[in-house]
Structure formats: C-alpha cells, structure tokens
Structure 1
Amino acid sequence: MKKKALIALLAVNITACGGGSSNSETKKEVLASVNAGSDQIVDEKTTIRLSAIAAPAEGAFSWTQTSGPILAGFPAEGAEQSIAAPEVKQNTQLVFQVKYAALNNTSATDEVVVIVSSVNQLPTVSIEQTAPTQLPSKYADTITLSSEKSFDPDSNGALMTYQWQQTKGEPVNLTSVNQVTLSFSHPLLDVDNATQFSLTITDDENGSQTNFFDLLLHKTEQVIDVDTGTTQSVNEFETVSLDASKSSALTPSFSCLWTQVSGTSVNLIQANQCISHFLVPDVDAAEQLLFAVTVTDEKNRIAVGNARVNVKTFALGISNDSGMTECFDELQKIACNNTEFPGQDADLGRDSVAQHLDKIGIGNSGFDFTKLNEFADELPDNATDFSCVRDNITGLIWEVKQQNTGTIPNTELREGQNHYTWFYSGDGNGGVEGIKGAANSSCPSNVDCGLETFVSEVNATNYCGGNNWRVPSYNELMGLMDLSQQGQTHLLNTEIFPNIPQQSALNHLRYWTLETSADGQSLSFAWILDMQTGNDLAYPKSNTGYLRLVRTP
C-alpha cells in the first residue's frame, strides 16, 4: 500500500489553513495518492470485497489482477469491487492492483494481497451389500460390499484411496482391501459370526472419512467342505494324484482316507493321506474311474467327497516298437525323458511303457507273443514244444523253424539253416521274377530252392493250422527285431524264435522280404533284413537268404 503520498497531501492542506498572508505564499499542486486497503484472508467460494480511497477527490479508480488464478471481470472500474473467491485445492494468493487517476492529471497505484483458504469437504462414505442377490448368504457364497455410491462433496473433488478393514467378529479371509468393493467367501461356521467392516476413503485433498457396516454371517449346515478338484483326464500308464488337501474344516487339522468306488482296479499309494496317487493301468477302452475320500476333523465329524478320473487309451499303434528301453547321451547311458537329450526312441511308443503293459503272452520290452501248437491253439507261456507263434500286437502268426538236424540238402522242410533265392511270379515282383535256386542246392526241395516253391510246399502241409503262409513285407519282418540286442549274436528272442542258423554258415543272417527294391541298378534286387545287425540291403534276387514265413489268421 502506498500511503506516503496521502500523508503529504494532508500535511499540505493543514499548513495552508494556518495564519499568514496568502499573498506571501505560492499555491502548491496536490499529487494523487491511493490506498487499496488491508490484506485479506477469505475462504474459497466466498466474496472478496475490494475498497480503495484516494486524494484528491473526484478521480477515477481502475482495478486489475496481477497474480494468482485468473478471475473474470478484470480490469474493473470503481473504488469498490465484489468478486467470488475461486475454488482451490490449497491455500492460494491473489494480488490486485488499483490505479487512481486524479483530475489534475496525476496518478498513483497500490496493491492488496488476498489469501484464499482451501476449505475441504470430507468424502461421503456409503457401504451396501450387493452380493449375493439371495440373502441371507450361506457357505461358499461370494459376499460383496460396495462403496460405489460414495462421493466427494467438493464440486471438483475426487476420491483417491479406499481402505477396508474388519473391525469385529471372527476373522474372515480378506484379499483385496483397497478397491471400491470388498469381496470374500462365506466361511464354514458352526456358530453365527457378527462381523463389522470399516471403509476409510481419502480424497484428493488428503481428507478422509470412515464408515462402518455390520454383517451377520450365519452358521452353516456343514462343518467340513470336501474339495477334490475338478475331473481329471489322463492316459493309461500315467501317474495320477488324488488331492483333498484343499478341503476345509472348522478344526485346525483333518485326516483323509481314499477308496476306489468303480472302474478298473488300481493300487492307491498313501490312501490314508489327503494326497494319494496311483498308476493308471493298461486299459482296453476309455473309461472313468471313481474314487471316494472320507474327511474327518478333530471332533470325529466326517464328510465324503468324490473324485473322477477319465482314462484314455495310450496311442501305441498296431505295430511293434524297436525294443529300445534305454537312453544315452554322447558318452553314456542316462535316464530317459532327459530335457537335454529329448525325443529318444526309448522315450516314445510302446517300449516306453513296457513295464506297465498287460500282456497276453510273453516278450521283451513291448513285444507280446503267444506260443501255438500244430493246430494254432494257444499254449502256456512256458511251453517248450510249440509250432508257431502269434504276435499279439499285430495279430500275425509267424513260422517257428524246425531244429537244425542235418546237412543241406538232407534237412527237413522248415529247418532254420535252409536258404533260398528270391523268385516270385505273382504281382508286386517289379517285373523281374528273380532266379530259381537249383533243387537240392541250398534246401531239401526236389523242385527248386526259390522262395515261391518253399511257400507252396509249406502251405501244402497245412502247417500250424493254415495254408495261407507267405513271405513277409519289409515292415512286418522289421517288427520282429529287438534293436536293443545290437552287438549280440542276433536280434531275435530265441525263446520265441529258436533254431536260428549259425552266422558263420553264410557269414550273415539276412532274411528275405517280398518287396522288390528300386535302390539298385535294376529291379533284380529285393529288400533283405539282417537279423544280426539290423541293417536293410537291396540284395540281388539271385543270391540266397533265409526265410521266415508269416500268415494272417
């Protein structure tokens, strides 16, 4: 405020009124002065009153705002002004300047400071129950308390934070307590639980308000809730866990006992624990296994629940596996299903679950053969006198060679040491029938030693109850080889296929297939499989090889 000019003006006026001759004094010009009034403190949204005084009289007042949030109506003319204090979030300073212009062309200015105080209205906290829709709530219902109708009375205010808390009653499980809504599950109760919840809301000016909500949780009919999870879908040979550990009881602990109700029988491990497990057995078709668990609390109160397991058959295919049941790294044998050396032969297929297979007969790894007599009737697995064998995987019946007794050609028709050239006049010979080996050369036949003649002579005997014996295909013959025996004398199970010839006889154990090979320079080659090494070869049809016949029942 500029008050010195006004004081000087008044002093001059007083002097002029004293004694003495006016003729001896020169009249002095009066300079303009103005006073904007005292600084003020007002509340937001109230009226600010500005009032200025000035000298000499009859001049003009003009107000302007020089600082603070811009207000409408400035500049304004007149000594007095009334304006609305703005709405503010914190104490705010406004500065107004008044300019006074006197009639004698002199002027003066002054300023006044107005502090606008923030007046915060606290939040209005509203709480209501919005779930469940059917009241009163019961066990396992989701209870929701909502504050969506809460608001900030300030016209430009905002609700910033929410804080829920349980203030009365036995504690319930609260998870998210800083949202607009509070949700929790109605617990197991054997007595009513009178609860109370508080909600504190803080606004954008850090003002907070709290409200309370009383809620009666009613006791439940059940005192144990058995939880066994959802229905599981698994493959045969998998390990399955039955889990009732997430069940609820009113006592600190509870016990469990699992039993099987229906389905293929399984061996439950730790059936008296809340988490039990079992290995899914070999099943012939998809089925559902049903289990029951009895949960007992510390007061010997019980409840029973069920668990269902849908079992699917494992896709093992209709052919034999390789026989490999071991896995390796670049140096040594390792455990299978190794993530650093994945997808090995022993990790996959029938052999990977061989120890769990419900076999009809006998065989290493995933192989399954049944011994048959001369009429193709089944024999016990331990029979030593048998005529042929049935592959229970493919359904094919295989020739079992007669014991090697003589010296070629003085041998029996089906001795293992007999060998033959590839000659076949039927369809699929590639247009090259091959060569008939000379009679009594590598076999006892008086006709020739080609494979077609051997097939005809065997069928003529109605061997092992059939006359549809034939030379196997490449894949059929390969299905007999147990590749886990590589490095051994041969790759066949001698308990199933006895009377194998000595490797030294021909320096190989190569057996013919019926398939002509296109690998050679002409179609005069056929595929042959070496039962010692596991290799396949495109072999000249004029050479001799061993034969093992097969038929379809």
Structure 2
Amino acid sequence: MLKVYFKNKFIQKGHLTVCICLIISLAMSACSDSSSGSDSAANLASVNAGEDQVVLEGQPITLDATVYPEGGTVVWVQIQGTFIDGFPTEDELLVEITAPTSPTSEDVDLVFKAEYTSLDGQVVYDEITIQVTNVDYNPIAIVQFEEGLTPAFDTYEIVTLSGSNSYDQDGEIRQYQWTQIDENDELTFISDTDEVELKLKAPFVTELTNFTLQLTVTDNSGLQGSNTLIVPVAASSSVIAANAGSDQIVDEFTLVTLDASDSASAVSDVTCSWQQSHGISTTISNAESCIATFTAPDVDAEEELIFSVEVTDSQGEQVSSEVLITVNPVNLGYLHDTGITGCFSNSKKIACNDPDFPEQDADSGRDEISTLLDKIGDGPRSFDFTKFDENGDELSNSAVVFSCVRDNFTGLIWEVKEAPSIPEFENLRGAENYYSMDSKLAASSSCPSTSNCGQEEFITNVNDAFFCGGANWRLPTYLELLNVLDYNDVNSEDLLVSEFFTNTPNKTVLGHKFYWVSNASAEGETDEAYFVLDLATGDDSALHMSKPAYVILVRSVGEED
C-alpha cells in the first residue's frame, strides 16, 4: 500500500493541484513494473517538527521531531527569536530547552527548523513556532549593612544600609524607598530615603533596641519588592549623651544651623549651651538653646570653625560634643554691584526675593550681603574704599582731607578731584577742568596748562608730580569707570560715591557730565570718536575727540610707573 506524508501547513493556495497531480503520478508509477525505477513513494523522506506551542517565560520546551524513513540524521536550527545556546544541534530528534526571558514586556516568537537527511541523501525540513508569553517578575530587594559595620551600634554611630545588590530578573530597578516600620522612636536619617543607600544615626537608648528598616524597590514595569533589616542599637554607656550634629560644609555669608536636639538623658530633658572654640569669630544666635544659628563669615580661603555644645540634665549631669563647620569662599565676580538694594514690581517698591518678580539686582551679589562683608576700608553697601594723602600714604576712614582712594575690591587707585578754584581753572586737578581727547583744546581755556587742554597733557603733568605716590596715572577703561558708579540714588546729581569722590563739576558749564574713557568708538565709522560716560545718568555716548569732556584718572598698583 502506498503512503505519502505531507504537512497540511505547507500546502498553500495554488499548490493543491500540483499535490494531487503528484499523488496520481505516484499511484500510476506504483502500478507499473517495480523494476522501472528506485524513486518509489515508499522511499520519499519526511519530517514533522510537531505542533506549535504557547509557553510562559522560564517554562521547559520540548522539541520532538518525527521522521520517515528512520535512520537518517536530524539537525535543529533556531531561525527566529531570542537566541538560545546550543543551536544548531547535532543529530537529535528530541531537544529540551527553557523558554527565555523577554528583554521587553512583550511576548516573543521562537521559530525552530528541523532538517532531516535520509540515508539515501534526501533533505527535507519542517518548522515549529513557540510563542513565549511574557511574565512580569517582581524585583528582589536585598538589604545589607555597609561592609565593615558590626551590630549592635553605639550611641550616635553612623550606620549605612545598602540596597545595591537588589535586582530585577526581567527589567531594571528604577526607584528605592526606605521606611522605618517599627514602633520605636523615629530615627534620624542623614541621607535621602529614596537613594540606594540610607545613612542614619544610632539614637540614644537605655537598653538594647531593635529598629526595623524596610526597603521597597520598584522596577520599570511598576512592580515592587520589599525586604527588611533589623538594626540593633546598644544601650548607652552613660545616662546622658551630647550630639552636636554632623559636620557641615557651607558657603560664606550663609545662615548655618547648629543642631544638638538629638542630645538626650535617661532621667530628664536636657538644656544646651553653645560656644565657638576655634576659627574666625562669629556671633551665635540662641546660644542657650539646643538649636542655634550663626552667619558664616567673610573668608578669602577655606576656613574651619569648631563649635561645642554642653548638655545638662536635671540631675546636673553634663557632657559636651563638638561639630566642625568648614566655610568656603564664594565667587562674587570681578565687578561691583550696581549699589541698588531695593526691589520693584511694575509699579512700586516691593520686598526682595518675590517669586513674581525674581532675580532682581538686589536679590543677589555683593549688595545683598554687604552688611556681612569684612571691609578693609569703608563705603556704602558693598563699596569698599581706603583714603590716601597726596603722598600715597593710607589715612583713616574718618579722614576729611584726602587726595585719592583705593577701591579695595579691584585694587585700582582713583584720583579725587580738588575743589573748583577761584578764579577757575587754576588747580591742576580742579573738578571744573575739562579736556579734549586730542590736543586741540586751547591752553588755559579749561585747564591751567600753558600748552593745551588735551587729556594727554593733563596725564603727563599729574605723573610728573608723582601724585599720590605714583607716576602711572591714565584714563580708565569703560568698564573700570562703570564699575565705581553707584545707582542706588537715582536722584543724585552724580553717580560717583559722594563720600569719597567729594568734588564734581557743575553740569551747567558743559550741559553734561561726560567723562572720557580710553575705549575708542566705531560709531559713525570714524577713528576719531571715543566713548564717554555720563556720570549724571550712567548712560554712554560717543564723542569726537576734539570735543570737551571731564577726566578722572586711575592707576594700578604694581604697574610700571
């Protein structure tokens, strides 16, 4: 009897006729002389890879091929899906594997092909599809003490718990959350509770106390896993314990809190008294409370401050503790603030740091912390000037007569004008004198020089006099002059700080208070224009070098005279 094996899934629309014809042909051949050929139907090879399967991640899978005629070799080949070790196989009808974990949250199709080679060399194949259904596994939370820590923990010892070995077998951990779940007093955490590690401070207890901490981890699918760890804290060796808090690193001018509220006694509440034992002197507010504050001082480099707290209970038992506060300098820039200390809305003056009108000039910078600055000299708000006599010797802040001032922020030394003379233009540095940028302004017309009233002639005469101990006087740059203007009083006749720049010209003489700076202006496409700053308004303009304007000189210490 003739038998022909086909797998239905390989008979596609359009090929049925071919298959029927093949059957008829084989039947006719079977009725003919059996000696007419060796390719009888009984010798056609076939292989069946089995029915398609649906399995879950991690479940076993059996691949079992049926072949005809027996005796040949079968090789299994994976042709689609997550790669599995061991393929292709070597001459195995039956193969046992495990469904792999999907790298995503979606189902995965695995396709395997069974290739059969019969003893007479025929090669046939069949395929099987294994649908692996995704299974979301909860993440595993693992909680451990930091390496090197040995329970039970002493009073105020820093304890670190780690969840770094937690894992998720089919995804990744996205969130960590630590929680105290016992009924003991609340622990003091000194790190955030949503990090992979948790730091806490062992509390004062009078007997061995077990605290329970729970870690909950959340994976990328939102699934969670939790685990707990017992944190044993040993009984205190004393009836009273002082804790000045953790060491801190802060910026200068910031408000620092000293917190000894974790201090405790077995017999009563405690009182605290703070004092500073090392470093730049500060003023402690609420020094007789367990929580006190101070403002970090003005520093030029890193400074260490040490504060101690003395803790006392109702029985007169006392104990002390220290805390280290490291103060770092902050970069306040290389320019003065504007001098403006008020903040404004669209229509009126308001309190600073208003969220509806943020980042105003008075909200930040040197003016905001001007009362905290450790000044060398004196000056309003953040300005800091030192007075000098005509020989360049320093004077006291209270000196009334002085010839120049040093800006202690930039180090530049500025000329202070002499009072207007009578008759006018008689004094070399008279406040009323004005000059052209070139040398075309006539001699004695607006200055005492008999050569010309150009700014170069004036600078030469001042340097020849070795004024204020220097011979390197020059015009300021645009930014240098802008840097000493005080915009705090917009109604002032002059934006120079009046306490130090005591003599200024009368605006009615030239109709302006333009001062020359050394920066040329390209306005008007000419090389004969220079910038001037209007010290009445703070505005700038470009002026032809032959026009008149006022001059204030500056010099830098250390520059070649």
Q: 1:498 to 1:172 in 2, by over 3 A?
A: closer
Find the partner of 2:374 among 358, 363, 367: 358
Alpha-carbon distance in structure 2 between the residues aligned to 1:165 and 1:487: 65
Which position in structure 1 is the counterpart of 2:433?
Answer: 418
Question: 1:188, 1:223 within 8 Å by CA — same for their partners in 2?
Answer: no
Q: Give a deviation string over 1:93-131, Cα, whole Å, max 9, x none.
A: xxxxxxxxxxxxxxxxxxxxxxxxxxxxxxxxxxxxx99
Alpha-carbon distance in structure 2 between the residues aligned to 1:421 and 1:255: 73
- Offset at 1:225? 3.4
Q: 1:138 to 1:353 in 2, by over 3 A?
A: closer
Counterpart residue identity of residue 342, structure 1 = P
Alpha-carbon distance in structure 2 between the residues aligned to 1:504 and 1:143: 74
2:524 equivalent to 1:520: yes
Which position in structure 2 is the counterpart of 1:488?
Answer: 492
Q: 1:520 to 1:222 in 2, by over 3 A?
A: farther
Question: 2:417, 2:503 within 8 Å by CA — same for their partners in 1?
Answer: yes
Which position in structure 1 is the counterpart of 2:455?
Answer: 451
- Offset at 1:466? 1.2
Alpha-carbon distance in structure 1 between the residues aligned to 2:507 and 2:209: 90
2:369 equivalent to 1:333: no
Question: 1:251, 1:297 within 8 Å by CA — same for their partners in 2?
Answer: yes
Alpha-carbon distance in structure 1 between the residues aligned to 2:430 and 2:153: 85
Query: RMSD of the alignment, in Å?
Result: 3.3
Question: 1:487, 1:533 within 8 Å by CA — same for their partners in 2?
Answer: no
Alpha-carbon distance in structure 2 between the residues aligned to 1:501 and 1:139: 72
Partner secondary structure for residue 390 of structure 1: strand
Aligned positions of 1:538-549 closer than 5 A: 538-549=542-553
Percent identity (aligned): 39
Partner secondary structure for residue 237 of structure 1: coil
Which position in structure 1 is the counterpart of 2:265?
Answer: 249
Find the partner of 1:225 among 237, 241, 248: 241
Which position in structure 1 is the counterpart of 2:294?
Answer: 278
Q: Give a deviation string over 1:75-100, Cα, whole Å, max 9, x none.
A: xxxxxxxxxxxxxxxxxxxxxxxxxx
Q: 1:186 to 1:400 in 2, by over 3 A?
A: closer
Q: 1:543 to 1:255 in 2, by over 3 A?
A: same
Partner secondary structure for residue 485 of structure 1: coil
- Offset at 1:290? 0.5
Q: 1:528 to 1:218 in 2, by over 3 A?
A: closer
Structure 2: runs of 5+ lacking an equivalent: 1-144, 162-179, 188-199, 213-231
Q: Give a deviation string over 1:155-198, Cα, whole Å, max 9, x none.
A: xxxxxxxxx999xxxx84499xxxxxxxx9986455x6799x9x
Alpha-carbon distance in structure 1 between the residues aligned to 2:474 and 2:149: 76
Partner secondary structure for residue 351 of structure 1: coil
Alpha-carbon distance in structure 1 between the residues aligned to 2:325 and 2:233: 36
Structure 2-normalised TM-score?
A: 0.59
Which position in structure 1 is the counterpart of 2:501?
Answer: 497
- Offset at 1:397? 1.0
Q: Give a deviation string over 1:239-264, Cα, whole Å, max 9, x none.
A: 11101112333234111111111010
Q: 1:380 to 1:366 in 2, by over 3 A?
A: same
Which position in structure 2 is the counterpart of 1:267?
Answer: 283
Q: 1:535 to 1:136 in 2, by over 3 A?
A: closer
2:372 equivalent to 1:372: no
- Offset at 1:495? 2.3
Question: 2:403, 2:468 within 8 Å by CA — same for their partners in 1?
Answer: yes
Stretch deviating more after TM superposition (267-276 or 223-232)? 223-232
Q: 1:540 to 1:287 in 2, by over 3 A?
A: same
Q: Give a deviation string over 1:9-38, Cα, whole Å, max 9, x none.
A: xxxxxxxxxxxxxxxxxxxxxxxxxxxxxx
Alpha-carbon distance in structure 1 between the residues aligned to 2:451 and 2:475: 18
Alpha-carbon distance in structure 2 between the residues aligned to 1:363 and 1:259: 32
Find the partner of 1:318 among 312, 316, 334: 334
Q: 1:249 to 1:521 in 2, by over 3 A?
A: same
- Offset at 1:303? 2.2
Q: 1:480 to 1:188 in 2, by over 3 A?
A: closer
Counterpart residue identity of residue 537, structure 2 = T
Instruction: Give the greater-gyration-radius structure (CA).
Output: 1
Which position in structure 2 is the counterpart of 1:309?
Answer: 325
Alpha-carbon distance in structure 2 between the residues aligned to 1:551 and 1:358: 24
Alpha-carbon distance in structure 2 between the residues aligned to 1:354 and 1:250: 46
Alpha-carbon distance in structure 2 between the residues aligned to 1:437 and 1:462: 25
Question: 2:239, 2:267 within 8 Å by CA — same for their partners in 1?
Answer: no
Partner secondary structure for residue 512 of structure 1: strand
Question: 1:253, 1:298 within 8 Å by CA — same for their partners in 2?
Answer: yes
Question: 2:151, 2:233 within 8 Å by CA — same for their partners in 1?
Answer: no
Alpha-carbon distance in structure 1 between the residues aligned to 2:516 and 2:209: 87
Find the partner of 2:471 among 462, 467, 470: 467
Which position in structure 1 is the counterpart of 2:165?
Answer: none
Aligned positions of 1:179-190 closer than 5 A: 188-190=204-206
Which position in structure 2 is the counterpart of 1:5?
Answer: none
Q: Give a deviation string over 1:350-395, Cα, whole Å, max 9, x none.
A: 1111111121112111111111012100011111221111111111
2:452 equivalent to 1:437: no
Partner secondary structure for residue 355 of structure 1: helix
Question: 2:209, 2:235 within 8 Å by CA — same for their partners in 1?
Answer: no
Question: 2:155, 2:233 within 8 Å by CA — same for their partners in 1?
Answer: no
Q: Give a deviation string over 1:304-353, Cα, whole Å, max 9, x none.
A: 11111111113223332211111111111111122221111111221111
Q: 1:417 to 1:259 in 2, by over 3 A?
A: same
Which position in structure 1 is the counterpart of 2:118?
Answer: none
Q: 1:534 to 1:249 in 2, by over 3 A?
A: same
Counterpart residue identity of residue 552, structure 1 = S
Which position in structure 1 is the counterpart of 2:362?
Answer: 346
Partner secondary structure for residue 462 of structure 2: helix
Question: 1:258, 1:271 within 8 Å by CA — same for their partners in 2?
Answer: yes
Alpha-carbon distance in structure 2 between the residues aligned to 1:329 and 1:483: 18
Q: 1:356 to 1:248 in 2, by over 3 A?
A: same
Question: 2:244, 2:323 within 8 Å by CA — same for their partners in 1?
Answer: yes
Stretch deviating more after TM superposition (248-257 or 456-465)? 248-257
Find the partner of 1:551 among 531, 551, 555: 555
Alpha-carbon distance in structure 2 between the residues aligned to 1:346 and 1:139: 46
Which position in structure 2 is the counterpart of 1:384?
Answer: 400
- Offset at 1:301? 2.0
Partner secondary structure for residue 475 of structure 1: helix
Q: Give a deviation string over 1:405-454, Cα, whole Å, max 9, x none.
A: 1344x52111011111112xxxxxxxxxxx52122222221111111111
Q: 1:173 to 1:471 in 2, by over 3 A?
A: closer
